[in-house]
Amino acid sequence: MNKLFQFGETVEGYPVRVVNERTVRAAAGLLFFPALVSFMHSFLLGNFQHTRLFVIVFLIDMSLRMLNPRWAPSMIVGGWIVRQQTPEWVGAPQKRFAWGLGLLLGLAMLYLMVFNRTMGPLNMLICGSCLLLMFFETAFGICLGCKLYNLFNKEQAQLCPGGVCEVPARRQGWGVSLPQAAVLALFVGTLTLAKGWVDETGPLGGFDDMATLEDMGLKPVSGEASAADTERCQVPAFAKAIGHEEKWKLHNGCS
């Protein structure tokens, strides 16, 4: 029974229980993608149904992680994906602390959005925070929640990814050479010029051309809008509540 709810693994030669960082990053990526899709769907279309469903999935996964990471669906699938890679063992205590923070954010979203159906800036802030945490984990191997661990625990974190807990920083400055900085500056300048050129040339034809859409039968001819279209273009209350009325109309083809 103890092993059933044991957080982390005991590996010979390591002073604390550990988890496989490669599995953790894979699991973070598996959660990050649907989280981003549902967030953008809510932000652009004002439809929070996908986000409400993801909150439930996220809470189930995080709750199982807190009991034992090996039973969390994202960890199971992520572990299978990276099964051929050499494990990178990192300290489990700080991971549990970080995931606990994620669980609290998920509970807040469960109360606000799933049960109370409250839509507003607070939801966006919490969702944005979760996305930021998962993105840093999966993209850079940086556990932002783990960095708070030392502030609330006398025992400092051990076995951090990349050895940042044990090995003092050896690089000075920003860790970017002057030629690299020049390349970045050139890239930003090129991107700025490219954006200006794209804006000047105007939108593409085809689906941006109203006449073409009418010829293809994809848009009703002026004056022939049906009652069904009028009803379809009624802006939902939750879109109005977050100030997305015009954006909702735009993305649903309503004028």
Rounded to whole angstroms, the Cα distance separating 69 from 26 reads 13
Chain centroid, CA 192 distance in Å:
27
Question: pLDDT-based confidence at 62, cuts 50/70/90?
Answer: very high
Q: Over the stretch 90-116, which tens digit does the pLDDT of each residue have?
A: 998 999 999 999 999 999 999 988 898
pTM metric for this prediction: 0.73
Please, are residues 61 and 132 in contact by the beta-carbon 8 Å criterion? no
pLDDT digits (tens, 9 = 90+) for 148-194: 888 888 778 887 887 777 655 555 456 788 888 999 999 999 999 99
* Tokens 């996305």, located at residue: 131
pLDDT at residue 5 greater than cutoff 80: no
Residue 60 pLDDT grade (very low, low, confident, very high; cuts 50, 70, 90): very high
Q: What local confidence, expressed as pLDDT, does residue 84 receive?
A: 94
Give whole-number Cα distances, 64 to 54, 61, 70, 131, in Å: 15, 5, 8, 20
